[in-house]
Amino acid sequence: MVLNFIQQNKTILLAAGLMFIVGSSKNLLIYNEEILVALAFASFMWFIVTYYGKNFSESLDERSSSIQAELQKGLDLQEEWLTKTLATHQSTLLAVDLCKSLKGFVGQEGARFQETRQQHLTAAVYNQFHTQLKYLSQSNEDFLPVLQKNWGLALRASVQEKFQSSASSIQKDWVKQSLSILKNMKKSS
């Protein structure tokens, strides 16, 4: 803004400067060192603006555009990072939902498998017990007559031994008891 003013009014400013110098040399204007420093500074600024203003303006414009490009690049990188982070977060949430679903499925299938396994185990134990009981029943049927025969022979032998070694009155009592026991055994079988 100041630069434009100086460039547009350079002839007027030059004329004012010359009038000041002429007026001060004729002692029409009183000046001191501060006025000379201010005039020197204004002249220096005018010189810089005139000869280097355009280059300086262009370098500031370039710097401004490079800073703007860097900021845009940074914003683009942040936007890309946020997009990737959002996608990662969404996939993580999806994985959590999938894990919950899988947990529910595994729980249901595990319970159903446990129930099925329990039924199979119960059936297997039942079949084994049934087989064992059947086998024991069959062996008991085969073994019972042999056992009864051996008991009978042993009882007969013991009665006969007592009978031979005891007196005649006791022998009669023993014979009666033995016969009653044998009758009871025959009835039970």
Domain count, the chain: 1
Q: Are 29 and 23 in contact (CB under 8 A)?
A: yes
Tell me, yes or no, whether 168 lies in a domain.
Answer: yes
- The predicted structure's pLDDT at residue 157: 82
Tell me, yes or no, whether 47 lies in a domain.
Answer: no
- The predicted structure's pLDDT at residue 170: 67
pLDDT mean by block of 10 residues, the chain; 189 residues: 74 81 68 73 82 81 93 95 94 91 89 88 86 80 77 79 67 77 77
- The predicted structure's pLDDT at residue 82: 95
Tell me, yes or no, whether 149 lies in a domain.
Answer: yes
Tell me, yes or no, whether 86 lies in a domain.
Answer: no
Tell me, yes or no, whether 117 lies in a domain.
Answer: no
Tell me, yes or no, whether 3 lies in a domain.
Answer: no
Which residue range(s) make up the domain with 150?
134-188
Q: Are 52 and 12 in contact (CB under 8 A)?
A: no
How far, in Å, CA of 97 to CA of 91, rounded?
A: 10
pTM of this structure: 0.37
Q: Are 151 and 110 in contact (CB under 8 A)?
A: no
Instruction: Give the tokens for residue 105.
Output: 């499925």
Tell me, yes or no, whether 85 lies in a domain.
Answer: no
Instruction: Quickly tell me which residue has 């679903």 as its tokens.
Output: 101
Tell me, yes or no, whether 7 lies in a domain.
Answer: no
- The predicted structure's pLDDT at residue 64: 92
- The predicted structure's pLDDT at residue 128: 87
Instruction: Give the tokens for residue 146.
Output: 């042999």
